[in-house]
Amino acid sequence: MIKELAGLKTVCLNETKDAVVILDQTLLPEKEIYVSLFTEQDIWDAIFKLKVRGAPAIGIAAAYGIYICSSKIKTSSFEQFYNEFCRIKVFLSGARPTAVNLVAALDRMERRILLNKEKSVPQIKQELLKEALAIREEDATACRQIGENGLALLRPGMGVLTHCNAGHLAVSEYGTALAPVYLGQERGFGFKVFADETRPLLQGARLTTYELQRAGVDVTLICDNMVSSVMQKGWVQAVLVGCDRIAANGDVANKIGTSGVAVLARYYGIPFYVLGPTSTIDMQCPDGKSIVIEERHPEEVTDMWYNRRMAPEKVKVYNPAFDVTPRELITAIITEKGVW
């Protein structure tokens, strides 16, 4: 755990284990406010509204969330318990479509039930708690190993560019794309990080700079349209990004704008690395064209940031939350198992 970030708890259970507690990321960096989620609607809203976001964090929130909701189901009948679990699972799965981690975590929770269906309902509830905690722990361990595998490809003093937020706030502890940066920081590598602001919701400006600055990393914020300029100046020696779904052929969905950064990296001859846990690989998904891309409300583009309208009323808006980077543009995919 990075000591400067130890106080920031992205997602956890409360002491009485009847609520999921999240740091509301829509309020950062001005306010650090923790919110308790007690119901399936609370959990769905928090994921949909990006109060908790980032592929692995969404998976952990969903696993904790379905445990909380299941623990409140009042029945001793396995059939009734399982039917109600499946209803909640379908509901939570629909909160966001692109990150595979959401459905993968919920599927794991269901498998834990089916493996223990001979047990009593109270015992099954305990199994669900263990599975949710295991998902979180495995994520933290994977992130640290992703950091080691990524750091082996970097050299002290490098300039690295990242898009969106794939750090402590998006996962457990070290993050994915930022894990080599944090490990490098602990080992005196002295990286210089460029963080894209990441329009329209500014995860880079609001979250990545916030956590890197707090950890003492040298970070410079740039607008999305400045990437070419900083690459042209020779300030960037590697690009590190996270991922929401890796298709079987190696195409990668990540935050909108990632594919543009990859095109620029190729043009300037800069390695483009995607970092994520193997749980983000979806072998059922043959290629990038098969990945469902979430489209979000036009207001995120037209109204969100200045408390006033930034575009004419009724203007047509296209607001995809993710894009697909074709595998040809990816130098390597770095997971906890190695470099691919």
Query: Mind telling me the catalytic residues?
Result: 244
55 is in an annotated binding site: yes
Ligand-binding site membership of 136 (annotated): no
Check the annotation: does 119 bind a ligand: no
54 is in an annotated binding site: yes
Instruction: Determine whether the annotation assigns residue 203 to a binding site.
Output: yes
- The contact set with ligand MRU (CB under 6 A) reads 50, 53-56, 99, 164, 166, 170-171, 176, 203, 242-244, 254-255, 321
**99 or 132, CB closer to ligand MRU?**
99
User: How many other CB atoms are there within 10 angstroms of residue 152's CB atom?
Assistant: 10
Least Å distance, CB 173 to ligand MRU, is 12
Please give the residue whose beta carbon sits closest to ligand MRU in the complex.
Answer: 242
Q: Is 289 annotated as a binding residue?
A: no
d(CA 275, CA 65): 26
Query: CB-based burial of residue 298 (10 Å sphere; 0-12 exposed, 13-18 middle, 19+ buried)?
Result: middle
Q: How far is the CB of 269 from ligand MRU (least distance, A)?
A: 23
Q: Which CB atom, from 70 or from 280, has the smaller least distance to ligand MRU?
A: 280
Shortest distance, position 236 Cβ to ligand MRU, whole Å: 18
- CA distance linking residue 93 with residue 296, whole number of Å: 16
CB of 305 to ligand MRU, least distance (A): 15
Nearer CB in complex with ligand MRU: 154/164:
164
SS3 40: helix
Is residue 98 exposed (0-12), middle (13-18) or buried (19+ Cβ within 10 Å)?
buried
Residue 193 phi, psi dihedral angles, 5° rounding: -100, 135
- Least separation in angstroms between residue 142's CB and ligand MRU is 11
Residues 6+ apart with CB under 8 A from 211: 5, 8, 165, 167, 168, 169, 178
- What is the spatial distance between Cα 138 and Cα 101, in angstroms, rounded to a whole number? 13
Q: How far apart are the first and last CA of the chain?
A: 26
C-beta separation of 321 from 256 below 8 A = yes
Tell the smallest beta-carbon distance from residue 254 to ligand MRU (Å). Answer: 5
41 annotated as belonging to a binding site for a ligand: no
Instruction: Please tell me whether the peptide bond between 97 and the residue prior to it is cis, using omega within 30 degrees of 0.
Output: no
Choose between 106 and 124: whose C-beta lies nearer to ligand MRU: 106
Closer CB to ligand MRU, 54 or 159, in the complex: 54
CB 23 within 8 A of CB 9: yes
At residue 51's C-alpha, the angle toward residues 282 and 99, to 5°, is 10
From residue 299, alpha-carbon distances to 307, 315, 318 in Å are 11, 11, 10
Please, are residues 284 and 104 in contact by the beta-carbon 8 Å criterion? no
Closer residue to ligand MRU (CB): 112 or 163: 163
Binding site feature residues: 53-55, 96, 203, 254-255
Binding site feature residues for substrate: 53-55, 96, 203, 254-255
